[in-house]
Chains A and B, each alone.
Chain A
Amino acid sequence: GNSVTQMEGPVTLSEEAFLTINCTYTATGYPSLFWYVQYPGEGLQLLLKATKADDKGSNKGFEATYRKETTSFHLEKGSVQVSDSAVYFCALRLYSGGGADGLTFGKGTHLIIQP
């Protein structure tokens, strides 16, 4: 079956540090890949996405590159801010023409940025 594995948190960094949150996936085809972010007490928001191999998604200083050879979609940011503190979810979608669209989420990584 399809699955997404993320590094476990919490991840605690100082402001302006470099961020990497690892995400790997297994899928029975060629999925689209996503990063969603959840701020405290809120729903999820799409942060970025990539739909095919070697695509790079980017938004708000965050980047992730779809690596088919390593089945990975690691999230990176060069200089984090306190306002980046949130839970980050890696997800994949494998549309098969029916069902729930095959959207699968990882367990989430809680990121804490200290001033």
Chain B
Amino acid sequence: DGGITQSPKYLFRKEGQNVTLSCEQNLNHDAMYWYRQDPGQGLRLIYYSQIVNDFQKGDIAEGYSVSREKKESFPLTVTSAQKNPTAFYLCATRGGSTNEKLFFGSGTQLSVL
């Protein structure tokens, strides 16, 4: 079954704790993205990666980190420096420079305890 798998679906973070959100894809897509969704705010880009071992900051990268060691995986770490981490996090992929369609995972809801 092809697609994008995000886990966990719900995640709780204690103050001062780092947490990692998983994003795995078997679509063989080069580009991967992390978006943050807040109510009434739309989607904002956190980080993106256009190829393995390379990634770039998006519009709101502060307090987050990523890695892209494998084509299939693009994990996002929410660090303790992110003071307002409660949001719905979406991972997306895209197949190539001429392919404009984004494929989205089902998201992870992160909440602060």
Contacts and interface: CB of A to CB of B under 8 A. Distances in A.
A binds B: yes
Interface of A: 32, 34, 36, 41-46, 49, 51, 89, 93, 95, 99-101, 103, 105-108
A45 B33 CA distance: 15
Nearest to A93: B100
The bracket for how many chain B residues form the interface is 20 to 34
Nearest to A45: B104
Interface in B1-44: 4, 6, 31, 33, 40-43
A36 B102 CA distance: 10
A32 B48 CA distance: 20
A-B pairs, 7 with minimum CB distance: A43-B104, A107-B42, A105-B43, A44-B104, A105-B42, A100-B48, A43-B106
A41 B106 contact: yes
Contacts of A105: 42-43
